[in-house]
Structures are given as structure tokens and as C-alpha cells.
Amino acid sequence: MKKIILFTLAVFTFSVSGYAQKYFTKSGKITFDATASSSPEQIEAVNRSATAVIDIKTGAIQFSVLVKGFSFERALMEEHFNENYMESNKFPKSEFKGTIANNTTVDYSKDGTYNVKVQGKLTIHGVTKDINTDGKLVIQGGKINATADFNVLLTDYGISIPGLVADKVGKTAKISVNCSLELFKG
């Protein structure tokens, strides 16, 4: 009897640690485009040092990015982005914490492309909102490539665009995520 119990315990413990596999990256790419349709110039920036983690067992998925790490073609845009809109000194980070709703349909042990639905909380400019988006996981050779595109309404996150630049900066920003995650050995 005792042996059975010990075995059960061992299985539980093993199963928990065995499946608690996490994939991560610290060089994820996140871009955004807030160009208004009438704008003569592109309002877009890229950040190549996003941190992303996926726990394949629970389907938990989290992203974090330093706002100051967004790089613009025009230095003045970058200044306005940090100073006037994102207030990156006050709110240095943007985060997403959520889950893959259909995590069970993804076979992480097999190469392939899986469409996923992600839901969770997105924090930008100190404001947290629930969001849902479709994304894609491409599993190949033990790596996960996670991509997603979604739009956020800037006023939802307390970012107001003054009338003077409304012809350049749009009301919504399209955010694109492209992260290649590797197994976390920690």
C-alpha cells in the first residue's frame, strides 16, 4: 500500500515538473503602427527586446516590453512618444498577461502551425484592459514562434492625441507581435 502511495506521489510530482515546461525569449519583436490614414509620414516603431514567456502546460502567456526601447525613424517622434503620449518615465513598461484559451488543441511536441485564441490583460500607459486576439503558434524544431496582430484604441489607455496632430496620429494603433521562444532551462 505504502509503495502505491509513494508511486502515486512520485507520478504527480514528476508529471507536474515534467510538464511545467516554459518557453521564453528576451529578444521578441513588437511593432506598432499608429499612422492616420491621411498622414504623410509613417508613425511606426519597433522594439526588439520584448520578453515573452509561454507555459505550455497551463497555456499561460506573458509579454513585457520597455517603452523606451521602441525605436522610430525620426528622433523627434521618439521624443514625443516617450514624453507626451506614453510618459515612459512614469510608465516604463507595457505588459500582457493572459492565457491561450485553446491550449489543449496545441501539440507542442509536434511541428506544425496552430491557430490560437489568446485572452488576457494588456497594460499600456498604466491602464489595464481585457483583450482577446487571434494568434498563431508555429512549432518547429523545439522552438515556438508566436505571432499576433491586434488593434488598440489609444483613448482606452488614457492616451489622448491632440487635434493638431490628429491628421498624422491615428485613433488606434496596430500592434504586431513576433517572438521566437526557446525552452527555458531554469
Partner 1 sequence: MKRFQLYALIAAISVFANTASAQDEDLLSMVGGDEKPQKERVKYAFKSPRVINSHSIEFLNPGTLDFRILHRFGQLDQGYKNFFGLDQASMRMSFDFGIMHNLMAGVGRSTFKKELDAFVKYAPIRQSTGGKLSSPVTLALVSGITMDGMPWADPSRTNYFTSRLAYYFQAIIGRKFSEGFSLQVSPTMVHRNLVQLEGDPNNIYALGVGGRLKLSKRIALTWDYNHVLVGMPDSGYYNPLSVGVDIETGGHVFQLHFSNATGMNERAFITETTGNWGKGEVRFGFNLSRVFQLKKKKKD
Give the residues lining the site for partner 1 (CB under 8 A). 1-2, 5-6, 8-9, 12-13, 16, 20, 22, 24, 26, 45-46, 51, 53, 55, 57-58, 60, 62, 64, 68, 71-76, 79-80, 82-84, 89-90, 95, 162, 164-165, 168, 184, 186
Which helix or strand (DSSP H or E) is residue 25 part of?
strand 22-35
Do 168 and 154 form a contact (C-beta atoms < 8 A)?
no
Nearer to partner 1, 93 or 136 (CB): 93
Nearer to partner 1, 10 or 113 (CB): 10
User: In the bound complex, what is the minimum distance in angstroms from residue 38's beta carbon to partner 1?
Assistant: 14
Question: Phi, psi (5° rounding) for residue 137?
Answer: -115, 125
Nearer to partner 1, 110 or 185 (CB): 185
User: In the bound complex, what is the minimum distance in angstroms from residue 39's beta carbon to partner 1?
Assistant: 11
User: In the bound complex, what is the minimum distance in angstroms from residue 46's beta carbon to partner 1?
Assistant: 6
CA-nearest of 79, 65, 145 to 113 is 145
Strand 127-140 to 112-124 pairing: antiparallel
User: In the bound complex, what is the minimum distance in angstroms from residue 133's beta carbon to partner 1?
Assistant: 18
Nearer to partner 1, 86 or 139 (CB): 86
C-alpha cell recorded at residue 83: 514624453
Give me the amino acid identity at 141: G
Cα R_g (the chain), whole angstroms: 20
CA distance 115 to 91: 32
User: In the bound complex, what is the minimum distance in angstroms from residue 159's beta carbon to partner 1?
Assistant: 11
